[in-house]
Amino acid sequence: MTHLFQFNYCNPTRLLFGPEAMSTLGALIPAGARILLMYGSGSIRHNGAYDDVMTAMAGHAVVEFSGVEPNPSLETLDRAVALVRQERLDFILAVGGGSVVDGAKYVACAAGYAGDGWDIVSGRQPVSEALPVGAVITLAATGSESNGGAVVTSLARQQKKAFFSEAIRPRFAILNPHYLASLPDRQIANGLVDAFVHACEQYLTYPVDALVQDGYAEAVMRALRLLAERYDERRSPGWLQNLMWAANQALCGILGVGVPQDWATHRIAVELTALYGIDHGRTLSILQPSLLRETIEAKRAKLEQLGRRVFDLVDPAAEEVIAAIEAMYRRLGMPLCLTDAAVGDADAAGTVLAALHAHGLDAFGGHANIDAAMTARMIRRICLPA
Ligand code: NZQ
Ligand code: ZN
């Protein structure tokens, strides 16, 4: 039976790409706006982004909030919420990686909500209104600069969770690849893998004859595979601008319209970060090959298509395609098991499975029918040396 596409897609984020993009920032923010400028631990002071923003913001009222940590916490972000209320701010400008942008999205929602902010993250309080957010992205990975998702961690609950709302898609995003120049190699590799897995989660299910969606996803994954092969060029402006655009396109929402998706890798990934503080991209390189091995029959046809069209393999078996993905991660220096990520927990499988159980994530269902036994096998596999 023909799979019929059914979707409602609107991406209102204006993208300004390139070295000149910042020159338009002043005009993008409404005159008279009172701005909260959010950033992390200070990398924006070393790559020029902070100075460029301050120059462009001359004439605007700007209050700064720094210290948004990687995997931003509710506890930190609620201090920014209090600042927004106290200073009567009405526009949030995020300058940094996905963590800062996600943090800004949360603050934009929580500022107008009197209850516990975790209600927003947990989905108990659906979000239909938020303060406007703008993003200046300095790390190419999440696509957060033009999507409607945000991921927040509650330190008190030891839980990391994503929430979604159309109201939090940024009004604009400035993508200047020059700001990526100060990234350490580790974050470049993390970003490449994160973007690759985002495309996979929207593609690696079963064939539905989605000619456009498959073609877009394959173009993005192919670009990322080529960047991995040319990893020694990663400091060149050309390499960096391709990463920045690929990462944006991988999770702006367009790849997955109307097609089956499977986000199980990401849904488990948040637990590894919450428990062990592993970088998001690294949780994915650890989990995804194990998940693909567990679900190989349900995903066989798409895995083999990916092998042919993205990795240029001739008539590959799905097993070889998983090996090719793993080899790409290895080439980037990414961990493939928990011990590679220096997790010393002697009963890591027990710990991770207990966290998944506590959060109602023993089974994921979906097209691959992931049940509790499959989840347990996946987790045990990542505890063995790769
Ligand atoms: O603290 P700062 O100074 O910002 O330093 C950051 C941080 O230490 C640093 N950094 C950023 N840009 C830099 C730089 N260092 C030098 N030069 C630069 N140009 O890099 C470190 C990591 O930054 P972070 O923002 O945490 O990284 P990323 O962009 O990978 O974001 C990860 C977060 O996004 C979430 C993840 O779960 C994680 O919490 N995700 C968000 C998604 C979304 N909103 O759609 C989807 C993703 O799947 C992901 O879950
Ligand atoms: Zn991700």
Give per-residue pLDDT as tens, 280-298: 999 999 999 999 999 999 9
Phi-psi sector, 300: left (phi>0), alpha (psi -120 to 50), beta: alpha
* Boundary of a domain, candidates 132, 163, 179: 179
Predicted local confidence at residue 386, as pLDDT: 82
Predicted local confidence at residue 206, as pLDDT: 98
Indicate if 270 and 295 belong to the same structural domain.
Answer: yes
Specify the number of domains making up the chain. Answer: 2
Contact 181, 243 (CB under 8 A): no
Confidence of residue 192 (pLDDT cuts 50, 70, 90): very high
- For residue 62, being part of any structural domain is answered with yes
Kindly state the average pLDDT of the residues 143-163.
Answer: 97
Domain that holds residue 86: 14-179
Give per-residue pLDDT as tens, 61-110: 999 999 999 999 999 999 999 999 999 999 999 999 999 999 999 999 99
- For residue 7, being part of any structural domain is answered with no
- For residue 9, being part of any structural domain is answered with no
50 CB less than 6 Å from ligand 1? no
| Closest residue CA from atom 42 of ligand 1 | 142
Indicate if 156 and 38 belong to the same structural domain.
Answer: yes
Share of the chain above pLDDT 90, in %: 99
- For residue 3, being part of any structural domain is answered with no
Kindly state the average pLDDT of the residues 187-195.
Answer: 99
Indicate if 257 and 173 belong to the same structural domain.
Answer: no
User: From CA 371, how far away is CA 366, in angstroms rounded?
Assistant: 10
145 CB less than 6 Å from ligand 1? no
User: From CA 218, how far away is CA 49, in angstroms rounded?
Assistant: 32
Q: What pairs with residue 174 in β-bridges?
A: 16, 136
Does residue 214 carry a pLDDT above 90?
A: yes
| Closest residue CA from atom 38 of ligand 1 | 71
Radius of gyration from C-alpha coordinates of the chain: 20
Give per-residue pLDDT as tens, 337-356: 999 999 999 999 999 999 99
Cα dist. 191→145, 152, 285 in Å? 14, 18, 11
CATH number at residue 88: 3.40.50.1970
| Closest residue CA from atom 7 of ligand 1 | 70
* Boundary of a domain, candidates 138, 155, 179: 179
Which ligand 1 atom sits closest to the C-alpha of 270? 37
Kindly state the average pLDDT of the residues 43-68.
Answer: 96
How far away, in angstroms, is 146 Cα from ligand 1 center? 14
Indicate if 157 and 215 belong to the same structural domain.
Answer: no
pTM for the model stands at 0.99
148 CB less than 6 Å from ligand 1? no
User: From CA 279, how far away is CA 117, in angstroms rounded?
Assistant: 24
Length of the chain: 386
CATH number at residue 263: 1.20.1090.10
